[in-house]
C-alpha cells in the first residue's frame, strides 16, 4: 500500500546513538514504506531496541535524524506519540486488573471520549481474540494472551504505525502463530508494522521487507524474498554416518560447493552453495569414499544461513 503523500512510515538518516564510549547505533539509514510489514532482524545487542526506542521518541539520537510519518522524532515527539503504537520488549502488566479495565485505562490516557473508547476497546479485543476474556484478571491469562493484550493496548488509539519489540519472544509455537496471524490482519487493515526479532525464521513468511543490523550497523535492507532467493542460494543437509567422521569432514572441506560444516546432535550440518550443489553430490562424495551413510536429509535453509554469511563477512 502506498500513501497518497509519498511520505515513508520511517526514514532515518545517519542515525547514531552512543552510550558513553559505546556506539549502539552507527549511521543507520533505514526506510520503511507505509503498509509494510517490516522485519527488523539482528542478534542480541545488535541495536534493535535502541532503534525502536528512538523511533517511538523514548530515546534521543546522538547524531543524525529520524522521521516517523514525516515528523521529526525530537521536534515532533508529541505528535509522533499519538500516531504510533510502541510495544516494548518487556512491559509490566497489571496483574490485579481486569482486561476491560486495563484497556479502558489506556484509552483514557489517550483522552479518547467515552463512546469512542468503548467502541475501540470492543474492536481491539475482538481483533486480538480476547473478547471472551473481558472480565478476566490479567494475572490469570496465559503468556500468549497477555502478549495479545499488550498488542490490544497499543492499538487503542488506532495508530498508523506499530513498533513491536520482539512481540513473539517467550511464546510457545501456537501462541506465536496466533500473534503472527493478528499482525497479518493488521497489515490488511492498512497499518504499517515494524517487528523486531532475533529469531530469523519466524519473520520469513510474515514480512514483506526487512532490515538486518549487526553491532549497530545496517547490513541489509530490502525484500525478505530477495534475501532468500539471492544468487548465493544455500542448501543445508543433515548428514549422519556410521563412522569415519574425520575423513568425511576432510573430504567435504576440500569441495568448493561446501560453504560450512558444523556438528549437530550426532550428525553434521553441511551447507552447500551454488545451483548444482545438492544431496546427490554429497552422497556421491561420501559413498564414493566408502563411508557408510546412514542419513542424508535436506533441512530448511532460511534467513539464518544467509544472515550468518552476511554477518561473518561484516565482522571478519
Q: Are 140 and 108 in contact (CB under 8 A)?
A: no
209 binds, among Mg ion, ligand ADP, none (CB under 5 to 8 A by kind): none
Q: What are 75's three cell numbers? A: 521536534
Of 22 and 115, nearer to ligand ADP (C-beta) is 22
Q: Which of these segments, 82-90, 120-128, 214-222, 308-316, binds Mg ion (CB under 5 A)?
A: 82-90
Please tell me whether residue 56 binds Mg ion under the rule CB under 5 A: no
Of 36 and 166, nearer to Mg ion (C-beta) is 166
Q: Are 106 and 122 in contact (CB under 8 A)?
A: no
Interaction with ligand ADP in 38-67: which residues (CB under 6 A)? Answer: 42, 44-50
271 binds, among ligand ADP, Mg ion, none (CB under 5 to 8 A by kind): none
139 binds, among Mg ion, ligand ADP, none (CB under 5 to 8 A by kind): none
Q: What are 131's three cell numbers? A: 473478547
Residue 262 C-beta: closest distance to Mg ion, Å: 26
Please tell me whether residue 30 binds ligand ADP under the rule CB under 6 A: no
221 binds, among Mg ion, ligand ADP, none (CB under 5 to 8 A by kind): none
Residue 42 C-beta: closest distance to Mg ion, Å: 9
Residue 70 C-beta: closest distance to ligand ADP, Å: 25
Please tell me whether residue 49 binds Mg ion under the rule CB under 5 A: yes
Residue nearest Mg ion, CB atom distance: 49
Of 8 and 85, nearer to Mg ion (C-beta) is 85
Binding ligand ADP by CB under 6 A: which of 10, 24, 54, 303?
24
CA angle 121, 141, 172 (to 5 degrees): 110
Residue 42 C-beta: closest distance to ligand ADP, Å: 5
Interaction with ligand ADP in 3-22: which residues (CB under 6 A)? Answer: 19, 22
Of 89 and 98, nearer to Mg ion (C-beta) is 89
Torsion angle, CA of 218/223/224/229, rounded to 10 degrees? -110
Of 212 and 286, nearer to Mg ion (C-beta) is 212
Residue 166 C-beta: closest distance to Mg ion, Å: 6
Interaction with ligand ADP in 259-298: which residues (CB under 6 A)? Answer: none
Of 169 and 233, nearer to Mg ion (C-beta) is 169
Q: What is the 3-state secondary structure (H, E, C) of the chain?
A: CCCCCCCCCEEEEEEEEEECCEEEEEEECCEECCCCEEEEECCCCCCHHHHHHHHCCCCCCCEEEEEECCEECCCCHHHHHHHEEEECCCCCCCCCCEHHHHHHHHHHHCCCCHHHHHHHHHHHHHHCCCHHHCCCEHHHCCHHHHHHHHHHHHHCCCCCEEEECCCCCCCCHHHHHHHHHHHHHHHHCCCEEEEEECCCHHHHCCCCEEEEEECCEEEEEEEHHHHHCCCCCEEEEEEEECCCHHHHHHHHHCCCCEEEEEEECCEEEEEEECCCCCHHHHHHHHHHCCCCEEEEEEECCCHHHHHHHHHHHHHC
Residue 211, strand partner residues = 40, 221
Residue 168 C-beta: closest distance to Mg ion, Å: 13
Residues near ligand ADP (CB under 6 A) are 19, 22, 24, 42, 44-50
Residues near Mg ion (CB under 5 A) are 48-49, 89
Amino acid at each position: 500500500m502506498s500513501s497518497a503523500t509519498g511520505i515513508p512510515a520511517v526514514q532515518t538518516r545517519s542515525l547514531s546513538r552512543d552510550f558513553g564510549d559505546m556506539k549502539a547505533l552507527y549511521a543507520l539509514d533505514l526506510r520503511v514504506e507505509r503498509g509494510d510489514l517490516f522485519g527488523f532482524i539482528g542478534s542480541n545487542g545488535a541495536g534493535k531496541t535502541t532503534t525502536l526506542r528512538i523511533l517511538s521518541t523514548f530515546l534521543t539520537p546522538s547524531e543524525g535524524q529520524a522521521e516517523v510519518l514525516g515528523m521529526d522524532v525530537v521536534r515532533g515527539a508529541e505528535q509522533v506519540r499519538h500516531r504510533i503504537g510502541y510495544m516494548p520488549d518487556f512491559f509490566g502488566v497489571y496483574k490485579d486488573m481486569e482486561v476491560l479495565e486495563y484497556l479502558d485505562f489506556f484509552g483514557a490516557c489517550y483522552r479518547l471520549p467515552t463512546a469512542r473508547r468503548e467502541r475501540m476497546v470492543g474492536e481491539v479485543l475482538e481483533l486480538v481474540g480476547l473478547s471472551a476474556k473481558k472480565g478476566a484478571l490479567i494475572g490469570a491469562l496465559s503468556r500468549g494472551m497477555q502478549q495479545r493484550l499488550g498488542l490490544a493496548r497499543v492499538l487503542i488509539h488506532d495508530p498508523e504505525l506499530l513498533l513491536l519489540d520482539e512481540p513473539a519472544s517467550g511464546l510457545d509455537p501456537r501462541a506465536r502463530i496466533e500473534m503472527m496471524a493478528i499482525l497479518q490482519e493488521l497489515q490488511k487493515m492498512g497499518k504499517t508494522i515494524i517487528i523486531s526479532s532475533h529469531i530469523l525464521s519466524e519473520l520469513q513468511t510474515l514480512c514483506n521487507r526487512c532490515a538486518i543490523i549487526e553491532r549497530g550497523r545496517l547490513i541489509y535492507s530490502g525484500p525478505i524474498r530477495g534475501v532468500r532467493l539471492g544468487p548465493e542460494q544455500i542448501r543445508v543437509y543433515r548428514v549422519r554416518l556410521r563412522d569415519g567422521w574425520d575423513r568425511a569432514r576432510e573430504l567435504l572441506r576440500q569441495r568448493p560447493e561446501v560453504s560450512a560444516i558444523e556438528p549437530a546432535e550426532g550428525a553434521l550440518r553441511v551447507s552447500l552453495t551454488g545451483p548444482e550443489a545438492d544431496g546427490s553430490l554429497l552422497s556421491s562424495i561420501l559413498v564414493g569414499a566408502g563411508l557408510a551413510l546412514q542419513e542424508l536429509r535436506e533441512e530448511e535453509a532460511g534467513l539464518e544461513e544467509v544472515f550468518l554469511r552476511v554477518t561473518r563477512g561484516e565482522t571478519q
